[in-house]
Amino acid sequence: MHTRNTIIVNIQSIRGEKYDHTVRLKPGDHEFIVHDSFVNYRLARIISLDELEAKIRTGTAVMKKPFRDAILQRICEGICKSDFTPIEVVEMYQSSLFSGL
């Protein structure tokens, strides 16, 4: 059953040594990544597709090209690997794997 919810993660430039090392991204991994970056799983959250679509309509979120499959797979796998991912995000991700979404 699809809940019309999705998971969003935050990608930030690496500044200093204190960051989640689970998934690092480099320039070239995506058009908007211009510095060594990391997925900040601590800020991962569940959002309704309606809310996401509204953010895109109002310009508070911008639609970009998708990540290449291999990069997206690394980011998704990091949801369960990171010690910082909120439990409800991990549970939703695992549930989606088991339900085939």
**Span 64-90, pLDDT tens digits:** 999 999 999 999 999 999 999 999 999
Which residue range(s) make up the domain with 92?
A: 5-99
Domain count within the chain: 1
Beta strands (DSSP E) in 24-99 are 24-25, 37-48
Interval 7-30: pLDDT, tens: 999 999 999 999 999 999 999 999
> Average of pLDDT values for 41-62?
95
Which residues fall within 8 angstroms of residue 97, CB to CB, at 6 or more apart?
none
